[in-house]
Amino acid sequence: MPIDRRTEMTEEETAAFLGRQETGVLALAREDAPYAIPISYGFDADAREFYMRLVSTPDSEKREFLASEPQARLVIYDEVDDVYRSVIAIGPLEEIDPGELSVEEIQQYGEAKRPLFEIWPEQKGDLDIELYRLRPDSLSGRLIEVDRDF
């Protein structure tokens, strides 16, 4: 039976992990209704902030959730060999006016992959692309190593 060792990642390990990853799952909640979507992101290790472009259609459930100023939880994870890493960021999701972006913030959005328009059934003109920042109140990383030789 495999035994696993769980450890908290340090701030440096967490930042390095987030810098290597590009995608995660963004979960939003309002009242008692949850909503989760896969996203790509940019991460500023110095400011400990996430930057994302979120694409929606005029009548999408995503747009309804975003308009309600929901609490956000971003989960980033991977598994390589017998090592599983995950980071959870919790905090408010803030919509950003593109006209108010600094040069540094624009660079962070450049780190986030562009949405793939080809996956949308609607015309590009019907899509709304909004910029968001997540400044987490809580940011924690965990590492689990599985020892299969035990």
pLDDT per residue as tens digits for the range 11-63: 999 999 999 998 999 999 877 788 899 988 889 898 999 988 888 777 788 88
Q: Which among 91, 88, 89, 131 is positioned nearest to 108, based on CA atoms?
A: 131
Helices vs strands, H then E, count in the chain:
3, 9
Contact predicate 41/74, CB 8 Å = yes
Domain ranges of the chain: 3-147
Q: Is the pLDDT of residue 125 over 70?
A: no
CATH of 3-147, one of 2.30.40.10, 3.30.70.2740, 2.30.110.10, 3.30.1370.60: 2.30.110.10
Q: Is 125 helix (H, G, I), strand (E, B) or coil?
A: helix
The burial class, CB within 10 Å (0-12 / 13-18 / 19+), for 22 is middle
Contact predicate 135/67, CB 8 Å = no
The amino acid occupying position 22 is: E
Euclidean distance between CA atoms 70 and 90, whole angstroms: 11
Higher pLDDT, 136 or 111: 136
pLDDT per residue as tens digits for the range 68-98: 777 899 999 999 888 999 999 999 998 887 7
- Alpha helix positions (H), the chain: 11-20, 61-67, 103-111
pLDDT, position 139:
96
